[in-house]
Amino acid sequence: MLIQGFNNLLWLLSLAMLVFAGFAFIDSAIRRGDAYRAADKQSKPFWLIILGLATLVNVLFGVMAFLPILGLIATIVYMVDVRPALKRVSGGKGPRRGGSSSDGPYGPWNGGR
């Protein structure tokens, strides 16, 4: 009973690490390449390779192996250092272009004021 619960916990942790690495990989793929240079970070292909390998390692190995821990570290570095810098350079809008969600076809909607 105890071992089954521990295995379930490891499986959930492994799944969380896979989702985290997958999100970071997709986020790095949809960012513009020139934003990486403007933010003075490594290039887009570099981060795609690193985060792609982190995702692949999470699929192939269990959470108790050494390589998924390295992938987790790389993913955390991307999420707390590179991604905010890319958002700052891109104007905070990310991959989406346009105005805010309250903008109408002719400009911002101010609620009739």
pTM for the model = 0.75
* pLDDT average, residue stretch 60-64: 85
- Whether residue 27 contacts residue 84, with contact meaning beta carbons closer than 8 Å, is answered with no
Between 65 and 43, the higher pLDDT residue: 43
Q: Please state, rounded to an integer, the average pLDDT across all residues of the chain.
A: 86
Closest residue by Cα to residue 38 from 105, 85, 79, 106: 85
Given pLDDT bands bounded at 50, 70 and 90, which one contains residue 62?
confident
Distance from C-alpha of 98 to C-alpha of 94, rounded to nearest angstrom: 11
Evaluate if residue 100 carries a pLDDT over 60.
no
Q: At residue 37, what is the residue type? A: R
Q: Say what the pLDDT of residue 65 is.
A: 86
Q: Say what the pLDDT of residue 52 is.
A: 96
Q: What percent of the chain has pLDDT over 90?
A: 66
- Name beta bridge partners: 103: 108
